[in-house]
Structure 1
């Protein structure tokens, strides 16, 4: 898939003409133009092309109309269809000679994570049973609000929406159902939802990579809420002038908060397994004072930096114990704890069960 940054003078009709010129000579370069997306508002166009290599695409475009793409990445057509909804040109209107596709590739991406944060009121095995039942409601809401499932695991969903409004309303319904269903109360389950919007091809190597990463980070750092990026919040407000979002369970970030989330997560993902890593490292390496880091973390997460680091490590430890690839001592040291005893205490304090009992319950 390639990206063209189109100037103000270029319209959707011009892009349709260029696509038609590509199709006339594509065979000369071993290419097949499958379809394209044009966004006059954001001044971008994206072409999906089967080709032997990037140079063939550049040569075809250059010979057809001279508009060489600004970026080309390799993609899987199935994934493209999951994100964008099609991999072929829409049917041309019988009333037009030219198939003008004024169809943006801009999408709202929703990340959903379902996780167990405590086993005080439940046993580890029942989590798997209950999460499977709850997933059905996610699928129902996704279909209702015309979303598409890009990826799905038992405790994780990646969804794509053409409409920002539909994405936000879908998230609200999923969140409300989760909290209103009595059989899930007091089980220690937590629902995290992050929404961000963007274009498929940036400077990264995979589709929607920047958009997906930030939405995932929202789920990691701000727990138990629906988190909206600044762009999603602005677009929703512009489409729904008289409708207010419930700020009790929806957190809309500003650009400064988004930047802070990225800085914190970049550094945490790099250093979390280092036993010497603590909150002091944030202020030393991110350009903030200790008090600034504390205030920003409390405003975003409701917890201190050290609490965030500890919970991040415990989540990693839970994953390792579930995979049964390391014993408890190995898990403790590999997740940044300086002793198995301290790790067991932290695990018990957070999850309400000793790691040894968790392993026995989960594997038994």
Structure 2
């Protein structure tokens, strides 16, 4: 599958239809079969799904027929493709929603990260799956402590997210969650996977969010403004993250990943790595995460420890040292203060859920 970005001010669906016909006329020479294409006129992007012997052959069809070569081509597999883009229909290979409108290929991805701190919460996961299904979402396979779903329409995704948030906040026992909605295109100008940049966005924000927090990216807000039901949907429960904030979140995430096992790293070290003054670093981290720089380091390590305790058989001491804590006793103390239980108890609970 490829992506094309168009510079022409007069870009239209009719232009793409014509180019597609030109591709069809010569595709056999290169062993390529054009299967389906998606057009987003507002964003001036289009995406072509093809079968072919290799990327070069697929791109050569475009080059020889009309000269508009792809900005990027990725390999896709049936199972993954069908989860994100299998719905809807096509007319002469042009992707359409079931309503008959042109399908842009853009999707909204919901990522829900859940941590159970007790074993008394019942079958809420079943209820979450029902909510997603009721709002026409498609569950994407992921880790057991995360649920990812894809939605064609933003309005369905946010209604689903609000219902999930209401369900989880009503659970009396100790449970934490972070939920993020992010929208984007199936193929990016860089990358090798479907919805790669969009999935990165939601994963980064789920890693930073305060407990029981919900984030919404700016691309989703743009989509909401274009959908008829958007005016009836309240987004006040969500923190809106602007486009420029994502570059910062990516850099912050990479720094935290790289220093997680380094106890000598201090919050002041962020300043140089981020290229900001002390006050700028504080403001930007606080605005994005709700935490001060020293707090985000500890929170990131504690969040990581939850996963380590759940999926590994390492001792508490080993996990503490792996995550940059000098003392297992101190790690246990702040873990209990943060989550209300000891690491040992959490490990037992999580392995029995």
- The interval holding the TM-score normalised by the smaller chain is 0.7 to 0.9
Q: In angstroms, what is the RMSD of aligned CA positions?
A: 2.6
**Given that residues 73 and 205 in structure 1 are in contact (C-alpha distance below 8 angstroms), is that contact kept between their aligned partners in structure 2?**
yes
**Given that residues 36 and 101 in structure 1 are in contact (C-alpha distance below 8 angstroms), is that contact kept between their aligned partners in structure 2?**
no
Match in the other structure for 1:175: 165
234, 245, 250: which one aligns with 2:234: 245
1 CA distance for matches of 2:191 and 2:264?
32
Counterparts of 1:1-364 in structure 2 under 5 Å? 1-6=1-6, 7-86=8-87, 90-92=90-92, 102-116=102-116, 119=117, 122=118, 126=119, 130=122, 133-180=123-170, 184-185=171-172, 187-202=173-188, 203-223=190-210, 224-237=212-225, 239=227, 242-243=231-232, 245-247=234-236, 249-360=237-348
**Given that residues 16 and 101 in structure 1 are in contact (C-alpha distance below 8 angstroms), is that contact kept between their aligned partners in structure 2?**
no
2 CA distance for matches of 1:91 and 1:325?
53
Q: What is the count of residue pairs matched by the alignment?
A: 342
After superposition, the Cα gap between the structure-2 partners of 1:303 and 1:358, relative to the gap in structure 1 and judged at 3 Å, is: same
- CA positional deviation for 1:361: 5.2
Q: What TM-score does the superposition give when structure 1 sets the normalisation length?
A: 0.84
Determine helix, strand or coil for the equivalent of 2:22.
helix
Determine helix, strand or coil for the equivalent of 2:141.
strand
2 CA distance for matches of 1:268 and 1:14?
46
After superposition, the Cα gap between the structure-2 partners of 1:41 and 1:346, relative to the gap in structure 1 and judged at 3 Å, is: same
Query: Structure 1, residues 109-129: CA drift from partner, whole Å, max 9, x if none?
Result: 11111113xx4xx3xxx26x7
- CA positional deviation for 1:9: 3.3
Q: After alignment, is 16-25 or 164-173 more displaced? A: 16-25
- CA positional deviation for 1:145: 2.0
After superposition, the Cα gap between the structure-2 partners of 1:246 and 1:45, relative to the gap in structure 1 and judged at 3 Å, is: closer
2 CA distance for matches of 1:68 and 1:256?
29
Match in the other structure for 2:97: none
- CA positional deviation for 1:153: 4.0
After superposition, the Cα gap between the structure-2 partners of 1:71 and 1:298, relative to the gap in structure 1 and judged at 3 Å, is: closer
Match in the other structure for 1:97: none
1 CA distance for matches of 2:10 and 2:231?
34
Q: For structure 1, which runs of at least 5 residues remain unmatched after alignment?
A: 94-99
Q: What TM-score does the superposition give when structure 2 sets the normalisation length?
A: 0.87
Q: After alignment, is 271-280 or 230-239 more displaced? A: 230-239
- CA positional deviation for 1:272: 1.6
After superposition, the Cα gap between the structure-2 partners of 1:292 and 1:67, relative to the gap in structure 1 and judged at 3 Å, is: closer
After superposition, the Cα gap between the structure-2 partners of 1:292 and 1:59, relative to the gap in structure 1 and judged at 3 Å, is: closer
Q: For structure 2, which runs of at least 5 residues remain unmatched after alignment?
A: 94-99
Match in the other structure for 2:96: none
After superposition, the Cα gap between the structure-2 partners of 1:211 and 1:32, relative to the gap in structure 1 and judged at 3 Å, is: same
